[in-house]
Amino acid sequence: MIIGFIGLGIMGAPMARNLIKAGYKLVVYSKSKKYDELCALGAEGAASYKDIAAKSELVITMLPNSPQVKEVLLGADGVIEGIKSGTTVIDMSSIAPSVSQEIGKALKSKAVQFLDAPVSGGEPKAVEATLAIMVGGDKASFDKVKPVLEKMGSSVTLVGGIGSGNTAKLANQIIVALNIAAVSEAFVLAAKAGVRPQAVFDAIKGGLAGSTVMNAKVPMILDGNFKPGFSIELHIKDLQNALDTAHDLGAPVPLTAGLMETMQFLKNDGYAASDHSAIVRYWEQMAKQEVRK
């Protein structure tokens, strides 16, 4: 199968590499260093997004947000202008569910199947090919491409119709962000009380408070390591999509709204490109207490 892969950023590049390792032929288009690296691994270069679509049986996009996905898929010289009927497009970006539905309708007019399939796990799991992939679309299209998705993730789940994948991702991002915030508040309290944070982590990680988020982020916080696996700026983007969707639906999300203000403060304070574990810096600054080993 020839796969067109668009979006060679922190997440997209390792995902594309894993597809090449799995034996798939990739077609790519980019002006980044990652483009040259993938071509060196055997990917074929293309002249445009339209050209990628014309050369591919399956097109995958992994882009920052809704406007970029719409432009690449539906814009001038975009995928929709070169794609063949019967092709499948999988958007693995994290975007607004309503935009996924809009794109799905546009591609359906070209007899093209569309799936929204955002991921969770950040750069480490993208590299390891152990992402959690949540998919929206019809089952027949899902079944056809599931083997491809399984080369990038250890968990691949069909959630419902188009847009459902991104709805699940919004739920995921709310839970992750609030979990990091809860961990931050609790560990700053413990450190301020003079209790060693590492000891607190060891004591509670096996209990009900334990979580994948805690296990991934507390060691980073204790080391003062905020190198981005998933940045605060990107999480702000996801929470904004969550807030917009919630407002459209009339679903209350007051905890998300409050944390958005915290993250906006951190962005303005110079932490936009830091890992979202740097949420702890808000509580550390307020309490004048760092959480370190």
The string of pLDDT tens digits covering residues 76-96 is: 999 999 999 999 999 999 999
- Two tokens, residue 35: 């483009």
In terms of Cβ atoms closer than 10 Å to its own Cβ (0-12, 13-18, 19+), residue 21 is exposed
Does position 251 have pLDDT exceeding 90, yes or no? yes
133-154 average pLDDT score: 98
- Two tokens, residue 270: 């110079």
User: What would the pLDDT profile of 6-27 be if each residue is shown by its tens digit?
Assistant: 999 999 999 999 999 999 999 9
- Pairing of the two strands 119-120 and 131-136: antiparallel
- Two tokens, residue 71: 């432009």
CA 162 to chain centre: 17
What is the predicted pLDDT for the residue at 229? 85
Does position 167 have pLDDT exceeding 90, yes or no? yes
The amino acid sitting at 198 is: Q
Does position 31 have pLDDT exceeding 90, yes or no? no
Residue in the structure block whose two tokens are 């929204």: 116
Helix (H, G, I), strand (E, B) or coil at 188: helix
Instruction: Label residues 165-193 b or e (16+ Cβ within 10 Å = b).
Output: bbbbbbebbbebbbbbbbbbbbbbebbee
What is the predicted pLDDT for the residue at 74? 98
What is the predicted pLDDT for the residue at 146? 98
Does position 223 have pLDDT exceeding 80, yes or no? yes
Give the integer Cα–Cα distance in Å for 253 and 195.
33
What is the predicted pLDDT for the residue at 30? 85
DSSP character for 131? E
Q: Is 169 a catalytic residue?
A: yes
Find the angle CA(55)-CA(56)-CA(57) to the nearest 5 degrees.
Answer: 140
Phi, psi of 115 (to 5 degrees): -130, 140
Cα separation of the two ends of the chain: 49
Give the integer Cα–Cα distance in Å for 108 and 233.
33
Residue 29 banded pLDDT, cuts 50, 70, 90 = very high
What is the predicted pLDDT for the residue at 32? 81
Tell me the average pLDDT of the chain.
Answer: 97
Q: What is the DSSP string of 76-88?
A: TTSHHHHPPTT-E
The amino acid sitting at 253 is: V
Residue 33 banded pLDDT, cuts 50, 70, 90 = confident
What is the predicted pLDDT for the residue at 126? 96
Supply the angle between the helices 280-287 and 254-266 in degrees, to the nearest 10: 70
Which residue in 25, 169, 227, 293 is the catalytic one?
169
Residue 242 banded pLDDT, cuts 50, 70, 90 = very high
60, containing H or E segment: strand 58-61
